């Protein structure tokens, strides 16, 4: 079954790689990928302010069931990738990371492998509820772009039991597009993530 999938990535360094990954999937006949934005549209929303950009990204996630984080060298620290991950968790999307550093860019170069973005975001429990956290400066802090509690029943994975942050990578798979035959397997990876989330 084809899944409507939001692709999250760091635009400037990885757009060429991300387009190649998505196009390889569409060649297989799925044509269910969304979340690829023209940079001018993204920049225009950014100029309108953070609230406009957040709304733009939430609208991009609408009607999707899976979020595929295409991870390059610098993706894990990107604020708006983190926001897309946070909103995906709130929405109940399946999640996975696909490393794309090994895909050649427009000049024919590969990059160095980056940190899994899903390892630098997670959830923790307080007496007031379950909250998002992100890693900054080598420690966990409360996530600043969404500060409300997340209802436990909205989570497709086991909620944290304590105030120790549980990263999303503990529940989600990570793959390497270049080294694990992503051209032929990406659809299957996405399907696994969808089923894990009950989507």
CA distance 108 to 119: 29
Calculate the CA dihedral of residues 68, 112, 110, 174 and round it to 10 degrees: -30
Write down the pTM of the prediction: 0.90
CA distance 80 to 170: 21
Note down pLDDT in tens along the chain; length 199 residues: 567 888 898 888 888 898 888 877 654 555 455 555 444 445 556 667 888 889 888 988 888 999 999 999 999 999 999 999 999 999 999 999 999 999 998 899 999 999 999 999 999 999 999 999 999 999 999 999 999 999 999 999 999 999 999 999 999 999 999 999 999 999 899 999 999 999 8
Q: What pLDDT score does 133 carry?
A: 98
Domains of the chain with bracketed CATH: 5-116+169-196 (3.40.50)
Residue pair 176/182 in contact (Cβ under 8 Å)? The answer is: yes
CA distance 56 to 1: 27
E strands, the chain, are 5-8, 33-34, 66-71, 94-99, 121-126, 129-136, 139-142, 166-167, 173-176
Q: What pLDDT score does 47 carry?
A: 67
Q: What pLDDT score does 46 carry?
A: 63
């Amino acid at each position: 079954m084809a899944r409507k999938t939001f692709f999250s990535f760091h635009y400037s360094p990885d757009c060429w790689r991300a387009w190649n990954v998505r196009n390889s999937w569409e060649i297989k006949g799925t044509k269910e990928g969304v979340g690829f934005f023209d940079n001018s549209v993204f920049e225009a929303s950014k100029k309108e302010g953070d609230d406009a950009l957040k709304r733009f990204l939430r609208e991009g996630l609408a009607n999707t069931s899976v979020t595929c984080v295409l991870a390059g060298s610098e993706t894990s620290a990107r604020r708006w990738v983190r926001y897309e991950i946070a909103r995906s968790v709130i929405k109940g999307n399946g999640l996975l990371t696909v490393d794309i550093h090994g895909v050649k860019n427009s000049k024919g170069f590969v990059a160095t492998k980056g940190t899994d973005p899903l390892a630098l975001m997670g959830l923790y429990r307080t007496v007031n509820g379950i909250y998002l956290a992100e890693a900054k400066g080598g420690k966990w802090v409360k996530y600043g772009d969404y500060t409300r509690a997340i209802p436990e029943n909205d989570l497709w994975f086991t909620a944290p039991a304590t105030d120790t942050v549980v990263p999303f990578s503990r529940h989600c798979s990570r793959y390497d597009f270049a080294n694990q035959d992503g051209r032929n397997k990406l659809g299957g990876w996405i399907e696994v993530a969808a089923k894990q989330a009950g989507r």
